[in-house]
Amino acid sequence: MTQTLLQIDSSARMQGSTTRALTTRIAERLGGALTRRDLSSALPQIDENWVNANFTPEADRTPAQRAALALSDQLVAEIKAADVLIIGVPVYNFGIPTALKAWIDQIARAGVTFRYTEAGPEGLLNGKRAILAVASGGTKVGSDIDFATGYMRHILGFIGITDVTLVSADEQMIDAERAAQSAEDAIARLAA
């Protein structure tokens, strides 16, 4: 059975982006049916209309509310259809790019990708795998100043995706060769 991959690129750079190169290499390594989502042209920020539509029961939504959620519904459908998410995570100023945060805001939806229970929130997108292709200039992945990877692991777990692997090319401005080799080694270890 062929696995389905969702490649999400969030780097503002179209040329010379380490994370774009890594997500492509990972997709090639894993193989399978591939859907690509490029966030560089920026998704809309959620606004009051979106929030009101999201918290209106689906059966009661107006046509305008359905339209407000149409992109979000499409993004969630892409995740639901995928077995593996390959997410490019460039570290910008110690965190994730705003384009990636906008995607998260569109897909983290109560009653759709997670729900609240008496025991606390429960993710609804179980059984999926995520691979984070992380690149940074000077931030060491996993350090006290890396606010990107911990956040991504948390938000993915929040929606039910707990099988998360990091492929990192961190601290490129300190040791570019080591960063590139570290990422290549991690890709080589990935099982299809």
Residue numbering of the annotated binding site for FMN: 11
DSSP assignment, residue 140? P
What the block records as the tokens of 78 is 């892409």
Helix (H, G, I), strand (E, B), or coil: what is residue 190? coil
* Buried b or exposed e, range 128-160, using 16+ CB within 10 angstroms: bbbbbbbbbeebebeeeebebbebbbebbbbbb
Binding-site annotation: residue ranges = 11
From 121, 123, 102, 98, select the one nearest 112 (Cα to Cα).
Answer: 123
Q: At what angle do helices 98-107 and 63-81 cross, to 10 degrees?
A: 100
**Secondary element (H or E) of residue 7:** strand 4-9
HSE-up of 145 (CA within 13 Å, CB side)? 11
